[in-house]
Amino acid sequence: MTSTRSSTAALALAAALALAPAATATAAPAPDAATAVPDTAASGTGERIVVTFRDGAGSQELRHDVYARASERAGGSRLVETAATADDATVVRTEGAPAAAELQQLTAALEQDPAVEHAEPDLLATTSFEPNDPLYSAQQWTLWNDPAGTGLPLAWDLATGAGQTIAVVDTGITPHPDLDVNVLPGYDFVSTPQNGRDGDGWDADATDMGDYPDAALCPNSPMPPASSWHGTHTAGIAAAGAGNATGIAGVAPDARILPVRAVGACSQGYISDVAAGVVWASGAPVPGVPLNPHPASVINLSLGVPGECPAVLQAAVDEALARGIPVVVAAGNQAVDAAQSAPANCAGVISVAATDVAGALAPYSNFGSVTLAAPGGDPHAQVVSTGNAGVTVPGAATYTHRNGTSMAAPAVSGAVALLRQAAPTLGVAGIQDALTSTARQAPGGCAPGCGAGIVDPVSAVVQAQGGRPFSTRGGIDGLYRRIAGSAGEPQSRELCALGGSPCFQEFTNGWILWHAGQGARWYDVLPATWWAGP
């Protein structure tokens, strides 16, 4: 993988480039490998319940009495038997289409009947979209359904970002086969010809002309003598096309990308230019510039400058928020409290820290005053995305590896695009609540520096659609049913190591860890070596 780079912010705003730093054991049944729905599968609870009766309690008359008692206790719809199924179980359905809460009450009423051994909703299985992009399965650990990833492609069964626009206020963009179909006409807000390297100021061409160090503009720059193509990289993380047998998949592969160039030579850009780019991306007027015909659904700022939030930038953020557009920003790569860096400390933004391949807070990431975290990588496991092979000026399209909070922010921007498609009525506050209330912890120890936790797009989308974001199944469910009173409510999805075992799930008062061949066990604190099994 390629090495990372750093940047400074003297007198101007510098792009935040990808740089960088035991309990009681209880056996339980093994997970059902045939289950083909997300753990959060409120997307398909339907109106049917699978009931297994105890031996000797399966006569037709008794079964009908059980159904009647359950309907009466739950105060819900009448239950009608439809068919027998595997393992001597019976499928019943409601006469109407019950709400999720009513179906849960009916299921619980059946489960409590002494004649019933087991009852559970008859879930609607879906076939998860697995992209054929070659780097997805090989290198995109940030998207996988494991403790360090974001749980895609499970969320893609619910939303792909279609109809949404992600504005990337950055160094601009270069042509790329994994991006071109999603790119809208953008704008260049780099105001000086020297910084923009295009011979003029603001114009309608958002092409990244290269941000390699210029001896006159940044003589003390520690950056290598090559351009970063930073905006192209962040755009790919958010919304590279998926299923096109090319390169990578973005978090919101059907969203549109609105490139807004505000950073030029030496990865620096004036705060006033960045602010103008944010205002324009929001659809608000900017003097001397045509109105943006494609207002953003979310604005991504993977850049930063030390100190308080500048007034002109705060005003731009306020304009976007007033128009219902969330602003997602990188927390910064200085390993300090994010309160010391803008725009992470601007009011109303969604600030994003970075996690490493273990799900821990990355050593370089700013922390503390952040909203949540997302995978940003580390020097040993970086984030692959779209790039450019040019050294000083644009060259051939390629793929590059970087790590930093710049990589974490567009993952959250992509998640916002999924939410906006799945729940169009959600406002800025509702989107932030959906992200933070479903964010999860990981055994790598992200808390407390990661704010609410690691972004979990699939759980956020399920919750935004009115479903239960967390449920239990398989071996973990078998143990949970016996200890639910002391375990508390599920606080995360079930997550598994890459080989499918072990799996773990967080609850109010601890964790359940399942390991193939050893069953499920309860832990007050998940062992640091959880992947080795109980």
Contact 455, 434 (CB under 8 A): no
Domains and CATH numbers, the chain: 13-19+129-464 (3.40.50.200), 46-122 (3.30.70.80)
CA diameter of the chain: 90
Contact 462, 491 (CB under 8 A): no
Q: 291, 267, 263, 264: which is closest to 279 by C-alpha?
A: 291
Q: How confident is the model at residue 303 (pLDDT cuts 50, 70, 90)?
A: very high
Give the chain's mean pLDDT: 85
User: In this structure, which amino acid lies at residue 483?
Assistant: I
Choice among 230, 233, 401, 515 that is catalytic: 230
Q: What is the pLDDT of residues 284-298, one digit of tens each?
A: 999 999 999 999 999
- Alpha carbon dihedral 352, 358, 359, 365, in 10-degree steps, equals -30
At 395 the pLDDT is 96
At 55 the pLDDT is 82
Q: How confident is the model at residue 124 (pLDDT cuts 50, 70, 90)?
A: low
Sequence-ordered list of residues with C-beta below 8 angstroms from that of 80, at least 6 positions apart, any chain: 67, 92, 93, 94, 95
At 72 the pLDDT is 87
In whole angstroms, give the CA distance from residue 355 to residue 497: 17
Query: 102-105: which pairs have CB atoms within 8 A and are 24 or more residues apart?
Result: 102/74, 102/76, 102/77, 103/45, 103/47, 103/49, 105/74, 105/75, 105/76
Q: How confident is the model at residue 125 (pLDDT cuts 50, 70, 90)?
A: low
Q: What is the pLDDT of residues 173-227, one digit of tens each?
A: 999 999 999 999 999 999 999 888 898 999 999 999 999 877 777 777 666 678 9
Q: What is the pLDDT of residues 6-42, one digit of tens each?
A: 332 322 344 434 334 333 333 332 222 222 222 222 3
Q: How confident is the model at residue 373 (pLDDT cuts 50, 70, 90)?
A: very high
Choice among 221, 406, 413, 471 that is catalytic: 406
- As given in the structure block, the two tokens for residue 461 are 């989308």
Q: What is the pLDDT of residues 397-444, one digit of tens each?
A: 999 999 999 999 999 999 999 999 999 999 999 999 999 999 987 766
Q: How confident is the model at residue 522 (pLDDT cuts 50, 70, 90)?
A: very high
Report pTM: 0.78
User: Per-residue b/e over 193-223, b at no fewer than 16 CB within 10 Å?
Assistant: eebbbbeeebbeebbbbbbbbbeebbeebeb
Helix/strand/coil for 241: coil
170 is catalytic: yes
At 96 the pLDDT is 66
At 2 the pLDDT is 34
| Percent of the chain residues past pLDDT 90, beyond the cut | 57
At 19 the pLDDT is 38
Q: What is the pLDDT of residues 433-466, one digit of tens each?
A: 999 999 987 766 676 789 999 999 999 999 999 8
At 224 the pLDDT is 62
Q: 144, 189, 185: which is closest to 165 by C-alpha?
A: 185
The residues with which 84 forms a beta bridge, in sequence order, are: 90
- Ranges of beta strands (E only) in 241-326 are 256-261, 268-269, 298-301, 303-306
Per the listing, tokens 């060259």 go with: 395
Q: Answer whether residue 387 shows pLDDT above 50.
A: yes
Q: How confident is the model at residue 529 (pLDDT cuts 50, 70, 90)?
A: confident
In whole angstroms, give the CA distance from residue 107 to residue 457: 28
At 235 the pLDDT is 98
Choice among 170, 208, 254, 477 that is catalytic: 170
- Ranges of beta strands (E only) in 262-416 are 268-269, 298-301, 303-306, 327-330, 341-342, 350-355, 372-375, 383-388, 397-402
In whole angstroms, give the CA distance from residue 225 to residue 229: 13
